[in-house]
Amino acid sequence: MKKEDIKSLYQAIDNFDTKSFATYLDDEANFKFGNMPVVSGKDAIFEFVAGFFQAIKAISHTNLEIWEIEGIRFVNATVTYTRLDGSTLTVNFSNTFKLKGEKIKDYLIFIDNSELFKAA
């Protein structure tokens, strides 16, 4: 998985394009989003991400810093969520992608977005 692929992955997320997002995953991938339980399998991850997209109005990833070592990619960046009411939350995050070939086998998101769904 090259840096260009990672940038395309985030573009798919920002476009709420769950089908394109899923193409980057191994069929038996594991997905861990913050402190939530691990979701296993491409189909289950697809459903989880699609559900998350329904809970927000928009998402935007910026300031991508990408590092590569054999079989692993690391990303530090900023994400801005737009809530359904139009308010926003911007936080920093770090992702680790453990690869199986060119597909993501383990997708680990280190983030504190606990403020996202708190009532104003």
Round to whole Å and give the CA distance between 24 and 105.
9
pLDDT surpassing 70 at residue 46? yes
**Cα distance between residue 87 and residue 83, in whole Å:** 5
Domains in the chain, start-ordered, CATH in brackets?
3-111 (3.10.450.50)
| CA distance linking residue 120 with residue 112, whole number of Å | 17
Share of the chain above pLDDT 70, in %: 98
Q: Quote the mean pLDDT of the chain.
A: 95
* Per-residue pLDDT tens over the stretch 53-69: 999 999 999 999 999 99
Q: Is 58 in contact with 66 (CB distance < 8 Å)? A: no
Are 109 and 34 in contact by the 8 Å Cβ rule? The answer is: yes
Q: What is the model's pLDDT at position 112?
A: 92
